[in-house]
Amino acid sequence: MAWAWDLFRFGLAMGLRALPVAPRSAFKRLILPLEYVRYAEDGYVLEHLEVRPGHLVLDVGSPKLLSLFLAARVGSKVHATDLLDYFFGEYGTHADRVLGVNRDRYAMQAMDARALTYPEGMFDRVFSISAIEHIPDDGDRTAMRELARVLKPGGVCCVTVPWSDRGYKEDYKRRGDPDAYWVASSEERVFYQRAYDRPTLESRLVKPSGLEVVDVSFWGERRVPAERLLLRRWPVRYAMLPLHFPLALLFLTRLGEREASRKKVACLTLRKSPIDRTSGPVPSVGSVPCT
């Protein structure tokens, strides 16, 4: 996990540079540069997205550390989007500090993944980390069509979502639960997220996109449920924040599709045909070996 060290160091550098102007945000970044399972997901995207200097990259709903890393360390131009503008203040400050005269490489937008306002074929690369699974109803299918639409022919898209060893499932929260902060609903029970299995990975994500499958990989915990320790209630949860990185190094590993796990995410790399054939047939997920 060499890329985990890169992300960890970059998160620390962001915190140090922001200390003089935003000490509270900077201190938070120094304690927790990146959350536990994101080291695996961000690392996968960093390894498979093949971003180059000058590439135009779209981030749809991901935790924002990787998008700023791509702008500051790789030299790409990134549009970071989310349904709400909660990250504008914090990441505007971080972008100012780490990009300096290259601040125009990082643009932030509040945008619904189901209705992106970008023109067709605008981006060289598109990624979405732990976001698509939270869109209710058929929103994941619609979002995948949108990601494919704004991707250039020949471009690459990476998506990560939760995986279930026991078949597709949906999770719900009570109205007002802080974990579902983006949900505005008068109903007492609100949709939170999906965990996919093989059939729904294909039917809800791959087929609607019309993109070609390049890679499907699985990352997570083999035996030790370390994430459960990290997510315990305060003050234990607060005390565990500095341990996210070392525990990620110890317990997050590449897994087999059918390998039993405590926590697993599916990571997909998709490519748009150099000649756009998104309306035609696409290969199934099963035609590509899982690693």
In tens, the pLDDT along 48-72 reads 999 999 999 999 999 999 999 999 9
Bond into 235 cis (ω within 30)? yes
In tens, the pLDDT along 94-130 reads 999 999 999 999 999 999 999 999 999 999 999 999 9
Cα(96)–Cα(79) distance, rounded to whole angstroms? 15
Q: Walk along the chain (291 residues) and give the pLDDT tens digit of each residue.
A: 688 999 999 999 999 999 999 999 999 999 999 999 999 999 999 999 999 999 999 999 999 999 999 999 999 999 999 999 999 999 999 999 999 999 999 999 999 999 999 999 999 999 999 999 999 999 999 999 999 999 999 999 999 999 999 999 999 988 777 777 778 777 788 899 999 999 999 999 999 999 999 999 999 999 899 999 898 877 888 899 999 999 999 999 999 999 999 899 999 999 999 975 544 444 444 444 444
134, amino acid identity: H
Write out the E strands in 11-72: 56-60
| Whole-structure pTM value | 0.92
Give the domains, in start order, of the chain with CATH numbers. 2-276 (3.40.50.150)
The answer for residues whose C-beta is within 8 angstroms of residue 226's C-beta and 6 or more apart is: 36, 247, 250, 251
Determine the longest span between alpha carbons in the chain, in angstroms. Answer: 54
